[in-house]
Amino acid sequence: MSVTPTASPSRPADPTQAADLEAVRRAISTTARPAPASPLSSVLTFSWRAMLKIKHVPEQLLDVTITPVMFVLMFTYLFGGAVAGSTAAYLDYILPGILVMSVLFTTVYSGVGLNTDLTRGVVDRFRSLPIWRSAPLLGPMLGDSVRYVLAGVVIIVLGVALGYRPEAGIGGVVAALALVVVFSFGLSWVFTTLGLLMRTPMAVMNAGFMALFPLTFLSNVFVDPATLPAPLEAFVDVNPISILATAARGLMEGTAVGGDIAVVLAVALGLTLVFLPITTHLYRRG
Amino acid sequence: MASQAHLAIEATGLVKRFGETSAVDGVDLAVHPGTVYGVLGPNGAGKTTTIRMLATLIRPDEGTARVLGHDVVTEAAAVRASVSLTGQLASVDEDLTGRENLILLGRLLGLKRQDAKNRATELLEAFGLSEASGRLVKHFSGGMRRRLDIAASIVVTPQLMFLDEPTTGLDPRSRNQVWEIVRALVAEGTTILLCTQYLEEADQLAGRIAVIDHGRVIAEGTPSQLKASVGSGSLHVRLMNPEQRPEAERLLEHALGTVVLEADPAALSATCAGGDDATLALSRLSSSGVRVADFSLGQPTLDEVFLALTGHPADAPDDGSTSLQEEHAV
Ligand SMILES: Nc1ncnc2c1ncn2[C@@H]1O[C@H](COP(=O)(O)OP(=O)(O)OP(=O)(O)O)[C@@H](O)[C@H]1O
Ligand SMILES: [Mg+2]
């Protein structure tokens, strides 16, 4: 007879087998403790976890494929005529820009995913393991890069279907996508930091999009800044997203400027150097 | 093993504050290796916060703790290398299958790929989870999830295991399974720190118990010392006919002592020292024609423990519980 709360009798019993206590005891007594996993091996194990999550819930990739398609169609056909005179001309201008925008918006999901983890108990276990402390943060980058590349490929395929023909051919397109992905890795640490500071995954998503929308619209992704009022134009010109869009356009058209690419890489490195340690510190602190 | 000579856990004056609240407010613990040590307390008592400090997840604001001889702050890595944590929220990944969870942990703990797979198979079978091993954990029942959680904690056998409320929310059958597993772990020499809200659970499993309330240890001792200090359990009776309650009350008062009328108009309970007294009281009822629908003999509830130890129920505001510590220490 017990004083602990008992489940109502209507609840179905656990359908599975019971634990085999003899086997449990054998299992406990048999293992020797192996040397802890190396940093590389733990990062790869966390990457494997990220890939399993995509495998089990492939629907999560819908977000990163449907949104870019909407962006391309909406901007090309809604604004194309008004902004650039014809949809075909605008497509040439905007496609690399939308590539940048779509992939950058995908970086917010890094923070959302981390925050989702935190709302569950599993992070406590990871943090109690004798592993390299940055491994749980670096591992998911592989899963993230799948999202980035997927979002990018969807844009490019759709663009080509609509008549976009990059001058620099497939090599230029791959180079542009690679540059955008590298920048996204840097930016994603901003959102993982946010993911560790905010209370719910939804809040992270909202904050992330609220930060990215103005930054993207105040860039040269959609319009040539020459038509803007001077102070705005000055901001647009130094906005890293403008520089990234210009570099991506250049790579796809075969007119890339080395300086732009260098600036993009430097900003990505800078974001990583600042926000990766902050993320690691916050994750460790719990 | 070095830890055999020392205490497995030795904590002095642990304090953790969150803003204004002192979640843990000066906790001392001494846990011997190879034993189950129960930390018993109501919601918000500071059990989880204590475990999180000992498992190196958060730093104490004050005080020190050594786990298996290693300081939890300055030698956190060494602590992590020999403990495992089964947290209050199931510490497994809901979006992976049971098997993937175990392989993931095996790999992170340094097992080779094939060894990790073999170990997962072995544990899934031992814990009765092999049929469900390919299912995502979010579709597991509560009992299965807990078993997987414990299996995950012994992918590589730890010297010391933290178990935070392992049976809260489980049905009696699943709860018994978890208890049996805990007993098997201890039989193999693992030290376990067990947090629970149930006196019965601490009584069943632990060699010693610390009762905590508002972040402080208000009593410490063996289960029998604790129960002796708290007093007896109680006999709960539900009558077929509520109109007979006054008569039942009179009879039970005579046979057992203090009677409490419960909210259910057909139910009442009386303090009761043991099974013999209860049998006697029940036969009095039946010989007087009071018909009993059902009855149960309970150990003191956590509420009764708290009432006895602190003079206030578990969820009431803190009023002088510290001054009672000395009087009521067992
Ligand atoms: N991260 C946190 N931030 C702020 N307050 C916290 C935090 N963690 C715990 N607390 C507070 O500290 C107190 C002790 O919490 P703790 O989780 O340790 O209790 P517990 O004994 O484990 O309770 P339960 O039985 O509900 O699990 C509570 O008042 C809780 O609200
Ligand atoms: Mg708790």
Q: What is the pLDDT of residues A229-274, one digit of tens each?
A: 888 888 888 999 999 999 999 999 888 788 899 999 999 999 999 9
Give me the total of CB pairs closer than 8 Å, taking one residue from chain A and one from chain B: 181
Q: Is B223 on the interface with A (CB under 8 A)?
A: no
Domain ranges in chain B are: 4-82+158-227, 232-299
Residue A235 in any domain: the answer is yes
Q: Is the model's pLDDT at A72 over the cut of 50?
A: yes
Residue A30 in any domain: the answer is no
- pLDDT, position A275: 95
User: Does the beta-carbon distance from B126 to A26 stay under 8 Å?
Assistant: yes
- pLDDT, position B124: 93
User: Does the beta-carbon distance from A3 to B136 stay under 8 Å?
Assistant: no
Domain count of chain A? 1
- pLDDT, position B311: 65
**Cα dist. B7→B4, B31, B70, B299 in Å?**
7, 6, 11, 31
Q: Which of B81, B154, B190 sits opposite A130 (nearest CB)?
A: B81
Q: Are B220 and B235 in contact (CB under 8 A)?
A: no
Residue A249 in any domain: the answer is yes
- Mean pLDDT (chain A) is 86
Contacting residues for B182 by C-beta, under 8 A, at least 6 apart: B36, B163, B166, B192, B194, B205
Q: What DSSP string describes B242-309?
A: GGGHHHHHHHHHHHTS-EEE-SSTTEEEEEESSHHHHHHHHHHHHHTTPPEEEEEEEPPPHHHHHHHH
- Residue A212 is which amino acid? L
- Nearest bound ligand to CA B40? 1
* Tens of pLDDT, residue by residue, chain B (330 residues): 444 457 999 999 999 999 888 899 999 999 999 999 999 988 889 999 999 999 999 999 999 999 999 999 999 989 998 899 988 877 899 999 999 999 999 999 999 999 999 999 999 998 889 888 899 999 998 888 988 999 999 898 888 999 999 988 888 888 888 898 899 889 888 999 999 988 888 888 999 999 998 999 988 988 877 777 666 677 889 999 999 999 999 998 888 877 878 778 888 888 777 778 888 889 999 999 999 999 887 766 666 666 667 666 555 444 433 333 333 333
- pLDDT, position B232: 65
Q: Is A10 on the interface with B (CB under 8 A)?
A: no
Best residue among B14, B17, B18 to mutate for probing ligand 1, ranked by most atoms within 8 Å of CB: B18
Which CATH architecture group holds B4-82+158-227? 3-Layer(aba) Sandwich (3.40)
Q: Is B114 on the interface with A (CB under 8 A)?
A: no
Q: Is the model's pLDDT at A164 over the cut of 70?
A: yes
Rounded distance between C-alpha atoms, residue A277 and residue A283, angstroms: 10
- pLDDT, position A190: 95
- The nearest CA of chain B is from the CA of A134 a distance in Å of 13
Residue A9 in any domain: the answer is no
Residue A23 in any domain: the answer is no
Q: How far is the CA of B87 from the centre of ligand 2 (A)?
A: 8
Neighbours of ion ligand 2 (CB under 5 A): B 47-48, 88
Q: Is A59 on the interface with B (CB under 8 A)?
A: no
- The nearest CA of chain A is from the CA of B299 a distance in Å of 6
Give SS3 for B234. Answer: strand
Domain that holds residue A257: 39-285
User: Does the beta-carbon distance from B144 to A129 stay under 8 Å?
Assistant: no
What was the ipTM of the complex prediction?
A: 0.83
Of 3.30.70.100, 3.30.450.20, 2.30.30.30, 3.90.700.10, the CATH number of B232-299 is 3.30.70.100
Q: Is the model's pLDDT at A79 over the cut of 90?
A: no
Q: Which of B83, B91, B125 sits opposite A20 (nearest CB)?
A: B125
Q: Is B272 on the interface with A (CB under 8 A)?
A: no
Residue A29 in any domain: the answer is no
